[in-house]
Amino acid sequence: MAYIKPICNCGTDLIFTQEFFYREQWRIGPNGKLFDRRMRQSEDDKYVLYEMLRCPQCLEHYEFEYDELGRIIVVGNIVAGFSTSGHNTSVLRKAT
């Protein structure tokens, strides 16, 4: 069977997206203030939170897997946890 490139329900080509967070660290100076320059980052300071396929047009998110040839295939829509703006709603909670 021929490979079919992942597309959104709206017809737009999907893009591969990784969400990261980074740890940044600063030394504390003898005066109790942070040094101007942060410490050197290592590979342990970069974390991948989530990988998904995302539509740049309508901002829908899709789960994916790799087939037996290592190609990306869509396995489902991601509904819970994302707002219509494409942001993770668990991060966007209002402070009470």
pLDDT digits (tens, 9 = 90+) for 40-79: 777 776 776 778 899 999 888 888 889 899 999 988 887 6
**59 within 8 A of 86, measured Cβ to Cβ:** yes
Classify residue 30: in a domain, yes or no: no
Nearest residue to 72 (alpha-carbon basis) of 57, 87, 84, 62: 62
Classify residue 31: in a domain, yes or no: no
Classify residue 51: in a domain, yes or no: yes
pLDDT confidence tier of residue 83, bands split at 50, 70 and 90 = very low
Query: Domain range holding 55?
Result: 1-23+42-91
pLDDT of residue 82: 46
Q: Number of structural domains, the chain?
A: 1
In angstroms, the CA 84 to CA 78 distance is: 11
State the pairing for strand pair 15-22/61-66.
unpaired
| Average pLDDT over the chain, rounded to an integer | 76
